[in-house]
Amino acid sequence: MREPTAMVEGNTIAAATAPAPPQALLERLKDYGQEDAFALWDELSLEERDLLVHDIESLDLPRIDRIIRRSLGSQGLSVATIEPVPESRVSKFEDRTPEERERLWKIGLKAISEGRLAVLLLSGGQGTRLGSSDPKGCFNIGLPSGKSLFQLQAERILCIQRLAAQAVNEGSAGFVQIHWYIMTSPFTNEATSKYFESHKYFGLEADQVTFFQQGTIPCVSKDGRFIMETPYRVAKSPDGNGGVYAALKYSKLLEDMAMRGIRYIDCYGVDNALVRVADPCFLGYFIDKGVAAAAKVVRKAYPQEKVGVFVRRGKGGPLSVVEYSELDPSLASAINQETGLANGLEKDSIYHIAEKKIPSIHGYTMGFKLEQFIFDAFAYAPSTVLFEVLREEEFAPVKNANGSNYCLFSGSIHVGLLQLVVF
């Protein structure tokens, strides 16, 4: 155990007994069963103690305790009544004629030309499964061009801008700008912004790209206690892609969107190499239906495929997504063969549990990361429709490393992250 020391005329003598942790803060931790966060207090230097106190004080303990209890307590609950998604809520790929696709394309392109669409990239996660702590969007994914995911998406935005400008100006070189909001996390924000700066925003204007950070939440053990990353810092992880709603609010970006005249938000995950950013056809379908939310979907390739599934919560209830990690094996096989959507289940949990190896003072420890999913909000949307696309054309998420190369797997990320449009 390391004791504080003092120097007197060249001789080292032991200082007085180390001060106890702040009593009020310790009592608050005890109220929530988290007093172990101060277990190594006596071994810390004065600077480390200050860091620990600041770290604990930065946590909203009542909220975090409520999240932990509800999330851990939801495991093993009986499934709620669910129904398959009605076919009337799904636009099947084979049902869209060339004429219909062209009609929807023109509707969407017109809205884009009027500056009513923004794109929102979810890029808060690190590429740990790819063998790197860098943002996923920075990777060279093995394409002959050597382009990264960020570059592919930026070039897609540039292309759609040109098409929209030409459409509204009947072939002349007009100007249309699509604003790009990029959600990072404390773990990826600096690297992401520097990457864009060093690549001159891939041809986009610097002021049409806005970075903002999602929140974090403590990692916990199976009994709900904080895992300590160091003796003076609680281990934390991003709060999931569903953290985008709170992040937009706290960053005051909803007001920013309103000021820009933006009405539609096209939201997608970073690691789909085939994502069609700002797809006019999808946007046109959304506008044509006059709904509050829409999502692109693909059919499950096989019952046990590790992707999320859309279900209808309760008789006549709203649509929602169930993650593959939450599916009971027997329910994973329950698929509506007409729509490719599951008859699955619904769990009463706002934050979802992901069991992971978490760096801690004891080495890598198995514990839980708590995450919100972007589709949790669909249950509150007054109207939702689904838009089926072909897997081979729009679904190739970068997931795992294979030696020095990265593999594109067309079935290893939940369907819900492909694309979302909301008011």
- The CATH number for 321's domain is 3.90.550.10
- Whether 11 maps to a domain, the answer reads no
- Whether 139 maps to a domain, the answer reads yes
Residue appearing with tokens 């049409």: 208
Task: Determine how many CB atoms are found less than 10 A away from the CB of residue 76.
Answer: 6
Tokens at 226, concatenated: 């904080």
Tokens at 374, concatenated: 């972007």
Q: Counting beta carbons within 10 angstroms of the beta carbon of residue 126, is it exposed (0 to 12), middle (13 to 18) or buried (19 or more)?
A: middle
pLDDT digits (tens, 9 = 90+) for 128-149: 566 666 798 998 888 899 999 9
**Nearest partner of 312 among 299, 321, 324, judged by Cα:** 321
Is 126 within 8 Å of 135 (Cβ atoms)? Answer: yes
Is 319 within 8 Å of 85 (Cβ atoms)? Answer: yes
- Whether 13 maps to a domain, the answer reads no
Q: What's the number of CA atoms in the CB half-sphere (13 Å) around residue 67?
A: 23
> Tell me, what's the pLDDT at 20?
85
Tokens at 129, concatenated: 């499964």
Q: Counting beta carbons within 10 angstroms of the beta carbon of residue 166, is it exposed (0 to 12), middle (13 to 18) or buried (19 or more)?
A: middle
Is 12 within 8 Å of 5 (Cβ atoms)? Answer: yes
- Whether 342 maps to a domain, the answer reads yes
φ and ψ at 387, to 5 degrees?
-125, 105
DSSP 224-292: SPBPEEETTEE-EEE--GGGHHHHHHHTTHHHHHHHHT--EEEEEETTBTT--TT-HHHHHHHHHHT-S
Q: What is the spatial distance between Cα 19 and Cα 41, in angstroms, rounded to a whole number?
A: 9
> Tell me, what's the pLDDT at 173?
56
- HEC string of 96-154 equals CCHHHHHHHHHHHHHHHHCCCEEEEEECCCECHHHCCCCEHHHCECCCCCCCEHHHHHH
**Identity at 259, one-letter amino acid code:** M
**Nearest partner of 358 among 170, 226, 249, 182, judged by Cα:** 226
Q: Counting beta carbons within 10 angstroms of the beta carbon of residue 296, is it exposed (0 to 12), middle (13 to 18) or buried (19 or more)?
A: buried
- Whether 192 maps to a domain, the answer reads yes
pTM of the predicted protein model: 0.81
Q: How far is CA 164 from CA 117, 154, 155, 262, 375, in A?
A: 11, 15, 14, 16, 29
Is 187 within 8 Å of 126 (Cβ atoms)? Answer: yes
Give me the number of domains the chain comprises: 1
Domain that holds residue 163: 73-422
- Whether 177 maps to a domain, the answer reads yes
Tokens at 409, concatenated: 């797997």
Tokens at 111, concatenated: 């809205």
- Whether 199 maps to a domain, the answer reads yes
Can you list the residues of the chain whose pLDDT is less than 50?
1-16, 76-78, 335-349, 402-423
SS3 180: strand
Within 301-390, residue ranges assigned H as helices are 329-332
Q: What is the spatial distance between Cα 396 and Cα 409, in angstroms, rounded to a whole number?
A: 6
φ and ψ at 232, to 5 degrees?
-125, 15
- Whether 19 maps to a domain, the answer reads no
361 Cα distance to chain centroid: 27
Q: What is the spatial distance between Cα 279 and Cα 109, in angstroms, rounded to a whole number?
A: 9
**Identity at 385, one-letter amino acid code:** V
pLDDT digits (tens, 9 = 90+) for 321-340: 776 665 555 555 554 434 43
